[in-house]
Structure 1
Amino acid sequence: MSPARDLGRLRFRSAARTHAGLRRVLNEDRLLDHPGDGLWAVADGMGGHRSGDVAAARVVEALSALDASESGFGRLNDLVRAVSEVNAELFAQSADGPGASPSGATVVALLAHERHFACVWAGDSRAYLLRDGAVAPITRDHSLVQSLIDDGRISAAERRRHPEAHIITRAVGAAAEIDLERRFAPIRPGDVFLLCSDGLTACVEDEELAGFMGRADLDAAAETLLAAALERGAPDNVSFVLVAAEAADKVALAQD
């Protein structure tokens, strides 16, 4: 588990796990777990595409190089710029030479600054927030199936059984320019965030997440969550980061 670090008047603890799953040889997921910088991310290399693991690694490397001394908005702008630059590079490489194929990755990133967060994403890697015992999604999938749900053509319950559930409509490297979706909101002490690849959400229902995320011991929560995915077959790579926010003064009192 990554150590806690003060960020304004909040402290953050985090625990990350990644596993190839039970049917894949290669793990194309990459994680970023930097509680000291208030930055976490999951990048999922696009299965069936050339060098999906390389694409995911390049996204995470670009994010890990961000300057933590910038202001909140400055860091957010740098994050968007970094992902956009990787997107342009990957897309340009996919057009090089005859027979070239796409190389891309989905991404979800969480940036914490003082008592606010920014969540940035493209694709079907997701973010959730546990607050006051209830879990709610922060992100909305960029996928064909999500579009069909939004249009009322299928129900949310039909999502997993749909034959085109694997089709992503937005990802890093998939187009000349990337449109990163963003969401901003305050952070409260006691909030717990989950960033994950679709390999986890394919095995664990949204309604179950509160039972895993609500554990005080993040390492135990992470181990139990990974075990649940593996017990259910884990057909894809499974990767996630759990992030817990605490009041810094409360933590200091507990340590005295």
Structure 2
Amino acid sequence: MTSPHDPGAVPGPAAWASPEAPLRVEAGSVTHPGMVRAENEDRCLAAPDLGVFAVADGMGGHADGALASATVVEALASIGAAVSAADLMARLEDRILRANATLWASGQARGGIVGSTVAVLLIYGRDFACVWSGDSRIYRIRGGAIEQLTRDHTEGRDLFERGLLSASEMAAWPRRHVITRAVGVRERPEVDLEQGTLEPGDVFVICSDGLTGPLSDRDILLSAGTSAPQWACDALLALALDRGAPDNVSAVIVRFGAPSPGRRSAASAPGETVAMLGARGDGRPS
């Protein structure tokens, strides 16, 4: 697995390990086929007990998109409880490599492409890491402002960053959404990595392009900034459906609060789970 920051490397404890007690975690998730697609090729994962949250979007127009995203999420769900930050990152790398090998072999056997985007948020203690491939995104809401922590792996974005397209030209360019990276499309997966430290009140939104297509960053901020995660997931889905939702829609929202008074979680634990609401396919509150 390669990353432009340090190809093939897994950050060690010195780079990504906090001795502070973990923050309280509340998470919600939702996934829906949208208003146009007959099948949902998105999958999502919210596992606060493991410190793993993810969205995968099977490549539309290619064979077995649903199989591809399911393969990625099932691999991530098998990570298990890590004993250190480095262990969690190593487990993630192993699962991405396994999923990529499975999808690459399937594509080779079929003579086509079987791939999926993935955006993963890892939590260990007070630290977080974002790992992604493709155009599924991770946002952080902090202090009333929203920031996209991931960078879309698309032809349009690549050309914009190289100065070959302006922002307006990128918005109108017909191949702007063609992705340049995904799990399973090459023999070795390519991912990007961003890391940071959590603050109480942080909210992370992990989503497929089926959500960010019809909705703006401000839409996401207004729904997710101060609301309970599952309510926010359902509200964002309802808004996307109201605007036509031409693609599958998926979101995982994670909110972090201060540790409970008088309780101290082990520094080696991914987080203290106070709520974990499962994905719904109909957008209605649990």
Residue of structure 2 equivalent to 1:70: 83
SS of 2:49's equivalent in the other structure is helix
Is the CA contact 1:9–1:249 (under 8 Å) kept in the aligned structure 2?
no
Q: How does 1:168-187 map to 2 (within 5 A)?
A: 168-187=179-198
Q: State whether structure 2 residue 19 is matched by structure 1 residue 22.
A: no
Q: Which stretch has the larger CA shift, 160-169 or 174-183?
A: 160-169
Instruction: Report the secondary structure of 1:57's partner residue.
Output: helix
2:22 and 2:124 in contact (8 A); partners too: no
Aligned-pair RMSD on alpha carbons? 1.8
Partner residue in 2 for 1:147? 158
Contact 2:203-2:254 at 8 Å conserved across structures: yes
Match for 2:248: what amino acid? N
3-state SS in 2 of match to 1:190: coil
| Equivalence for 2:149 | 138
TM-score, length basis structure 1: 0.91
**Pairwise CA distance, 1:96:** 1.8
> Which has the bigger relative contact order, CA under 8 A and spacing at least 6?
2
Which string of whole-angstrom CA distances, capped at 9 and with x for unpartnered residues, describes residues 16-68 of structure 1?
01010000000000011111221100000000111010010010011100121
Structure-1 separation of matches of 2:244 and 2:179: 22
User: Which residues in structure 2 correspond to 1:100-111 (within 5 Å)?
Assistant: 100-111=111-122
- Superposed, 1:180-195 pairs within 5 Å as 180-195=191-206
Q: For residues 56 and 229 of structure 2, what CA distance do their matches in structure 1 show?
A: 21
Q: What residue is the counterpart of 1:61 in the other structure?
A: 74
Kindly tell me: are residues 251 and 170 of structure 1, through their superposed partners in 2, closer, same or farther at Cα, counting changes over 3 Å? farther
Higher helix share: 1
2:131 to 114, 120, 123: 120
Q: Whose strand proportion is higher, 1 or 2? A: 1
Deviation, structure 1 residue 120: 0.4
Percent of aligned pairs sharing the same letter: 42
For residues 215-256 of structure 1, what are the alpha-carbon distances to aligned partners after superposition, in whole Å with 9 as ceiling and x for unaligned?
23222212211111111110000001000000112597xx9x
How is 1:1-256 mapped onto 2 (pairs within 5 angstroms)? 8-96=21-109, 100-249=111-260
Q: 1:134 to 1:92 in 2, by over 3 A?
A: same
Shift of 1:101: 1.2
Paired residue total: 245
Code of the residue aligned with 2:140 in structure 1: it is L
The answer to whether the Cα contact below 8 Å between 1:87 and 1:172 also exists between their aligned partners in 2 is yes
User: Separation in 2 of the partners of 1:45 and 1:187?
Assistant: 30
Aligned counterparts of 1:227 and 1:214: Cα–Cα separation in 2: 17
- 8 Å CA contact retained: 1:32, 1:39: yes
Greater shift after overlay, 108-117 or 209-218? Answer: 209-218
Which deviates more from structure 2 when the two are superposed, residues 141-150 or residues 205-214?
A: 205-214
Task: Say if 1:8 and 1:113, in contact at 8 Å, map to a contact too.
Answer: no
The Cα shift of 1:200 comes to: 0.5
Tell me the CA shift for residue 158 of structure 1: 4.3
For residues 75 and 12 of structure 1, the distance between their equivalents in structure 2, rounded to whole angstroms, comes to 18
- SS of 2:254's partner is strand
Normalising by structure 2, we get a TM-score of 0.81
Counterparts in 2 of 1:106 and 1:211: CA distance versus 1, 3 Å: same
Deviations 1:89-137 (A, max 9, x none): 211221226xx21100000000100000011000000000000000001
| Whole-Å separation in 2 of the counterparts to 1:86 and 1:174 | 11
Corresponding residue for residue 4 of structure 1? none
The gaps in structure 2 that reach 5 residues or longer are 1-19, 264-273, 275-286
Report which stretch shifted further, 207-216 or 29-38.
207-216
Report if the CA contact (8 A) 1:195-1:242 is conserved.
yes
SS in 2 for 1:249: coil
